[in-house]
Structure 1
């Protein structure tokens, strides 16, 4: 087995490991309304959850999906989180018109970043929080995704964990870092990733620049 084939198998294994993690977090949210005996909201939540899980398991088996599919998956995920926050979470998902929604993106890379923004930024905010995701055109062979939140920011989030005596180490961050390393080693995508506090206001901004490496491995259609 070649080194590239080995990295490809590791990527596939990592995607499968994300499934139970993602299901667990979603079930924690849906359980909230069921325990409160709010039947109508529970039914809405279950419908959204079912749609999300079907989409998640289908797309997570792919090496890459279209930008349109990625945007739909994030929309479904954030709509469930919005229910969990009882409308104290606003979000937007936008795309430059120059960027083709049929262009591909590595599978299941953005969701852990959005999840961190929700759980470590917006969750600790006293007022309504907002997450803005934008897919931007860079050039004919690259594009950029920014995930901006107006939560408490990285410094304050780390301080909360330090005061609690826990380590700021969560499954989403671990999966993300492993995913980025394997994409690099497998020589299929060049992805630059930064996460920093916003300078103009509270919150954090994650920036990813994607450039596929043109070879026979990445040219396999995702559909």
Structure 2
């Protein structure tokens, strides 16, 4: 059998996985949503098999979990997971910012600035997902300059795992008048990168992640109190 035909089912599963994963990251399928194989298969236009396999992979990635009497659901947001993920992010991203700012080029700083400008526009338009996308693009430029692809890959994986928390944080910050935390740290990080100031870059990133953790904790607590 030709390889292309043997690979086709796996490629279809990849497409279904990407579709469901994006719906979770965008908030279209929020925490607690049930993932019913038949319904999802109808929505994406496939048989049940690739949907079932995609859900299994989402479970392995820690994005989906099994609940009694419900089956597969989008994993709920918890304070414990928030602290675990953001503490690891601090360890990795503070170091990535420190190393990246030592080696980043002027052209890469200009690329960071372009992503920052797009992010500020998205903030003005209250577009949560573009805000997060441009923020991550900006940071990835800096982190890539550190010259450690494995470090960048690990950070990307953490971003995917905590995207739901980031959505909560960004939306809550947008709803708070006068809060500059969605853009102030990025501005200071670009300045540090242009100056090659590794200590400042590390400090800015650390402060940014501590602030994000505190904001999301407060927002999760408020949601819990109103539920």
- Normalising by structure 1, we get a TM-score of 0.28
Larger Rg: 2
Q: Which protein, 1 or 2, shows the higher relative CO under an 8 Å CA cutoff with sep ≥ 6?
A: 2
- Normalising by structure 2, we get a TM-score of 0.28
* The structure with more strand, counted as a fraction of residues: 1
* The structure with more helix, counted as a fraction of residues: 2
